[in-house]
Structure 1
């Protein structure tokens, strides 16, 4: 199935928004947030500090009377420069284009399976600036197999699960971690759709370089096709 048809397939799975964060939080409590290099507010604090990030996010949510800040698909970000895991001298090779949607909210917020599926893999990705505890679910709808990735979880989210466990849409599969385990970020969920995992296990690139973005854009469709946070 080509990219256009697959995106249409994803969009048609549900006419209604599919929730990936605590279903008690209404979509009316979501507010878009920009974390690209275009956001000059990011120049006003130390982006290498998780505490400064948390303060910035909390003030943003309070100002906008929101419980969740969301966004970031294909957003070009300079925040990854704080980590040698992503940083690269060449602009074309620098991994700074975000491939998922981030949902910024309080630690320990419930994370939900967006669709029926099974646990494909899980792992604690411990690099500074990485996902921390991560779960990947495998889904099959009709003949189409694809995956969803849930990053920046708490440690307990991956303690009592095993590969092959069945999950149902809306099941709680984990909780958001704090900065001590989630790669040194303010608490948030990184949610990503992946067509081909390329033999990865409990991990998959969440940011791309400019050089490779054409491939990753095709392999990692816009998560909003399922979440429908924005019309």
Structure 2
């Protein structure tokens, strides 16, 4: 039976259907989750996709972090539910304090769109366990507020705890320490600015490296079930 992976839709979400398609291509079953719904419908993992939740009013992800579905996701994540936040989803996870740091406007105040090279810093997470440390992935990116910011104490802590999951090969947005993605201490919640769901087919993304996120999750779920 295929793993059931929830894909959340907030008002303003753009990439929920892309995320659902990526889940399907990876061999799992996408389950739609609405922002106002507190029921996670028994999913085995959750993806928070990209877009402009609630129009990015106040701060990107700030209102979405207070939505009913996030209350359920926070409780489930504390119990070990795997959660992946992509772009705006990463911003939501930071605003919900499921991940350290925050995302600010890109350093040069310009919207960034490219297929950057990411360096895998940690494969000790649910979403990267099928990857190799030091591996380089090509993952599509598109964001205006992807500049990862944290105070020096937080940066020192996440570096020491191996919570930096990805770094940019070439920093496109001014992120501290070239950080492209981080994890919580337990390794079940991961957020990153680039879009793995846009890099699952050669035809549209020029790379299938994004599939490694979902194959990592499925490897973890299979191991948990055995």
**Same fold (TM > 0.5):** no
Please give the TM-score of this superposition, normalised by the length of structure 1: 0.31
Choose between structure 1 and 2 for higher RCO, CA contacts under 8 A separated by at least 6 residues.
Answer: 1
Larger Rg computed on CA atoms: 1
